[in-house]
Amino acid sequence: MTPDFDVIDAAPAEASTGPVGAHGLAAISVLQTVFGYAAFRGAQAEIVDHVCAGGDALVLMPTGGGKSLCYQVPAIVRHRADQGVAIVVSPLIALMHDQVGALEEAGVHAAYLNSSLTSEDAQRIEREMMGGRLVLLYAAPERITTPRFLAQLDSLHERGLLSLFAIDEAHCVSQWGHDFREDYLSLNVLHERYPGVPRIALTATADDLTRADIIERLQLEEARIFISSFDRPNIRYGIVEKDNARAQLLRFIQDEHDGDAGIVYCQSRKKVDETAAWLSSEGITALPYHAGLDADVRRRHQDRFLREEGLVMVATIAFGMGIDKPDVRFVAHLDLPKNIESYYQETGRAGRDGLPADAWMTYGLADVVNQRRMIDDSPAGDEFKRGQVGKLEALLALAESHDCRRVRLLAYFGEASPPCTRFQNACDNCLSPPVTWNATEAARKALSCIYRFHQNGGQRFGAGHLIDVLRGKVTDKVTQHGHASLSTFGVGADVSEGQWRAVLRQLIALGHLRTEGEYHTLELTASAREVLRGEVQLLLREATEAPSGGGRRGKTASRGSAARSADKNKAPPVPLDAEATERFSALKAWRAEVAREHNLPAYVVFHDATLAEMARAQPQSLDDIAQISGVGAKKLEAYGREILRVLES
């Protein structure tokens, strides 16, 4: 069987390590007894084995691919072999708490060191670390590279108690990405000072430039590189034309994600505030998040998002990095993201738990105009601008595409993939292929009509008026300017308004048209001539006239109708009958109490999928519970009896 990932050996391997290598048995036993999972996924087995054996690794895996286990399992295996403490470099203090909480729940002795601790706690943790009793220690790069901390590492190293270094979110070392962190640059000290200690760097950022940067700056030239497929099969991609975006969003949430946790991305802070307030007024629990809010408010909102169920976060791109909440069921874009890289990263935050999730976007003419203008007006150099324009065009091509979105997305990252019709969770285009039409002639008509405006007194007009003239609509404005007598008046009556907007979006995206001033009046560019001469072919998708998702599959079809009619609560992640749904709700109520007592998000106690499986299978004994995915030995011991009690009542 060929694996669904590539292994690139920067240096020749000393010994060949197959999927179950020298440490395979110890590793699989840790996976099963500690984490309660039956088998490794994809590249995990090989990575774990390689790191257990002391090798360096660079792991490129999409969000939700299961990167954490790639260093947590080796850390446990090496700790059990008396190799001491694993140091995990993590960029966000805010998230260390939950990560450590999840490990402790699974019975793994882990801790973090950061400024949120009291000095007594910090001292206690340092003692645990120096004694080699901790299995994993999480800290931010700025702490790890202080002389004091390095001296502690020296001492551990001398005693053979430094088991490995894991560098999470390794793309932060790259100046190319938007998550660049100065402190990451100093991490090369780890290699220089402790050359024998294995290092594993992990990231979900796929592009070649970033990868090369990580290798160079972290001195990972000798590391094995593991590249997984970046496909996210459980995410359903859908892009709809904007037609009252708020109403579309509301309908999308109500119809498909009632009671689900989700993220709604907007471009501006103001729009974030307004959208959050509006969703709240419509009865949806929504909170705003952007860099303009107090740090305190931001922290509180993020905390509520992680801890509460079914909360919608309306946010700018300031929200996201390191949000490892597994049960985000949708990511919606009310504005166009900057480029496909951003789109993929932002939508990737949905469905980390592998259960069905939606990436939904609404976009329209104004988005294209805005993005294009932001690039044109920026003070950057021409070469940079051309690069940005190229990226915008690729994004628009994705939005306007009539073929498989998944194929296009993966192709953008250099990965070939068959269309997603093979999944239950196919993209909107695979689910209901749109009709296409040849818009070349229409584009010529639009441009020549604008040319007539220019001739006719030189005045400029916006898209609305242009479409009226093309469609032969006699409005006050048409009469006032005598536009009914233009030769282009009414030449496009057979093309709908929606289709005209699509034509204009394409022309702007391709740079044949641009907009000016506060009224967004349309202006021909030099390259418009190529279109007028018929040298540019435009094939467009038919505008979706349906006000909402248009042809999208309803939630009832995808999630089981019995569950949905049984109660108004959030539907379970797998289809359950009415009685099982009741058991699922009871288990969730129990879990919420446990999470509150432990001050942890509910998913750290058990994932939804694990509870749903319990509700379905109705285990009768502790042995039965142990068979369920996500139940390790510690959780079985801590919660097994209570679960049986909840299921009985």
Tally: H helices and E strands in the chain: 30, 18
* Residue 64 CB, nearest approach to ligand ADP (Å): 5
From 94-102, 244-252, 337-345, 426-434, span contacting Zn ion (CB under 5 A): 426-434
Q: Which of residues 350-369 bind ligand ADP (CB under 6 A)?
A: 352-353
The H or E element spanning position 85 is strand 85-89
Please say which residue, 64 or 434, places its beta carbon nearer to ligand ADP.
64
* Phi, psi dihedral angles at 9 (to 5 degrees): -95, 115
| CB neighbour list of residue 378: distance below 8 Å, 6 or more residues apart | 385, 388
Q: Which amino acid is at 504?
A: L
Please say which residue, 49 or 335, places its beta carbon nearer to ligand ADP.
49
From 39-47, 242-250, 577-585, 589-597, span contacting ligand ADP (CB under 6 A): 39-47
Name the binder of 404 from Zn ion, ligand ADP, none, CB < 5-8 A by kind. Zn ion
3-class state of residue 438 by DSSP: strand
Does 231 interact with ligand ADP (rule: CB under 6 A)? Answer: no
Q: Pick from 233, 292, 326, 433: which binds ligand ADP (CB under 6 A)? A: 326
Answer whether 70's CB lies under 8 Å from 202's CB. yes
Distance CA 368, CA 336 (A): 8
Does 37 interact with ligand ADP (rule: CB under 6 A)? Answer: yes
Name the binder of 324 from ligand ADP, Zn ion, none, CB < 5-8 A by kind. ligand ADP
Does 359 interact with Zn ion (rule: CB under 5 A)? Answer: no
Name the binder of 298 from Zn ion, ligand ADP, none, CB < 5-8 A by kind. none
Distance CA 563, CA 392 (A): 42
Answer whether 587's CB lies under 8 Å from 615's CB. yes
3-class state of residue 315 by DSSP: strand
Please say which residue, 290 or 406, places its beta carbon nearer to Zn ion.
406
N residues, the chain:
649
Answer whether 372's CB lies under 8 Å from 402's CB. no
* Residue 4 CB, nearest approach to ligand ADP (Å): 14
Q: Pick from 21, 24, 55, 65: which binds ligand ADP (CB under 6 A)? A: 65
Name the binder of 169 from ligand ADP, Zn ion, none, CB < 5-8 A by kind. none
515, two tokens: 């907009």
Distance CA 539, CA 503 (A): 9
In this structure, the number of other CB atoms found within 10 A of the CB of residue 167 comes to 28
The H or E element spanning position 316 is none
Distance CA 100, CA 138 (A): 8
Please say which residue, 160 or 418, places its beta carbon nearer to Zn ion.
418
Which residue in 412, 365, 414 sits closest to 390, CA to CA?
412
Does 404 interact with Zn ion (rule: CB under 5 A)? Answer: yes
Please say which residue, 61 or 332, places its beta carbon nearer to ligand ADP.
61
- Binding residue count for Zn ion, defined by CB under 5 A: 6
Q: Which of residues 411-470 bind ligand ADP (CB under 6 A)?
A: none
Does 69 interact with ligand ADP (rule: CB under 6 A)? Answer: yes
Q: Pick from 406, 501, 512, 588: which binds Zn ion (CB under 5 A)? A: 406
Answer whether 210's CB lies under 8 Å from 174's CB. yes
- Binding residue count for ligand ADP, defined by CB under 6 A: 16
Name the binder of 406 from Zn ion, ligand ADP, none, CB < 5-8 A by kind. Zn ion
454, two tokens: 């220019």
Q: Which amino acid is at 70?
A: C
* Residue 40 CB, nearest approach to Zn ion (Å): 28
Q: Pick from 68, 114, 219, 254: which binds ligand ADP (CB under 6 A)? A: 68
Quote helix, strand, coil % in the chain, to nearest 5. Answer: 50, 15, 40
Question: Looking at residue 570, what DSSP letter applies?
Answer: P
Q: SS3 sequence, 455-487?
A: HCCCCCCCHHHHHHHHCCCCCHHHHHCCHHHCC
* Residue 400 CB, nearest approach to Zn ion (Å): 15
Q: SS3 sequence, 159-211?
A: CCCEEEEEECCHHHHCCCCCCCCHHHHCCHHHHHHCCCCCEEEEECCCCHHHH
* Residue 233 CB, nearest approach to ligand ADP (Å): 13
Answer whether 286's CB lies under 8 Å from 292's CB. no
* Residue 427 CB, nearest approach to Zn ion (Å): 3
* Residue 88 CB, nearest approach to ligand ADP (Å): 12
Rg (CA), the chain: 27
Please say which residue, 90 or 362, places its beta carbon nearer to ligand ADP.
90
Q: Pick from 7, 20, 41, 497: which binds ligand ADP (CB under 6 A)? A: 41
Does 410 interact with Zn ion (rule: CB under 5 A)? Answer: no
Instruction: Give every strand in the sheet of 136-139, ordered side by side.
Output: 5-9, 224-228, 57-60, 199-203, 162-167, 85-89, 136-139, 110-113
Does 430 interact with Zn ion (rule: CB under 5 A)? Answer: yes
| CB neighbour list of residue 359: distance below 8 Å, 6 or more residues apart | 235, 236, 237, 238, 330, 331, 347, 350
Name the binder of 420 from Zn ion, ligand ADP, none, CB < 5-8 A by kind. Zn ion
Does 40 interact with ligand ADP (rule: CB under 6 A)? Answer: yes
| CB neighbour list of residue 370: distance below 8 Å, 6 or more residues apart | 267, 335, 336
Please say which residue, 23 or 372, places its beta carbon nearer to ligand ADP.
23
Name the binder of 63 from ligand ADP, Zn ion, none, CB < 5-8 A by kind. ligand ADP
From 50-58, 65-73, 172-180, 497-505, span contacting ligand ADP (CB under 6 A): 65-73
Question: Looking at residue 422, what DSSP letter applies?
Answer: G
Q: Pick from 21, 24, 55, 66: which binds ligand ADP (CB under 6 A)? A: 66
* Residue 231 CB, nearest approach to ligand ADP (Å): 14
Does 61 interact with ligand ADP (rule: CB under 6 A)? Answer: yes
For the chain, what is the largest distance between any 2 Cα atoms, rounded to a whole number of angstroms? Answer: 91
From 8-16, 38-46, 274-282, 539-547, span contacting ligand ADP (CB under 6 A): 38-46
Q: Pick from 324, 341, 346, 608: which binds ligand ADP (CB under 6 A)? A: 324
Please say which residue, 34 or 430, places its beta carbon nearer to Zn ion.
430
Please say which residue, 156 or 609, places its beta carbon nearer to ligand ADP.
609
475, two tokens: 């409005």
Please say which residue, 235 or 276, places its beta carbon nearer to Zn ion.
235
From 34-42, 121-129, 385-393, 518-526, span contacting ligand ADP (CB under 6 A): 34-42
Please say which residue, 103 or 129, places its beta carbon nearer to ligand ADP.
103
Q: Which parts of this chain interact with ligand ADP (CB under 6 A)?
A: 37, 40-41, 44, 61, 63-69, 324, 326, 352-353
Q: Which parts of this chain interact with Zn ion (CB under 5 A)?
A: 404, 406, 419-420, 427, 430
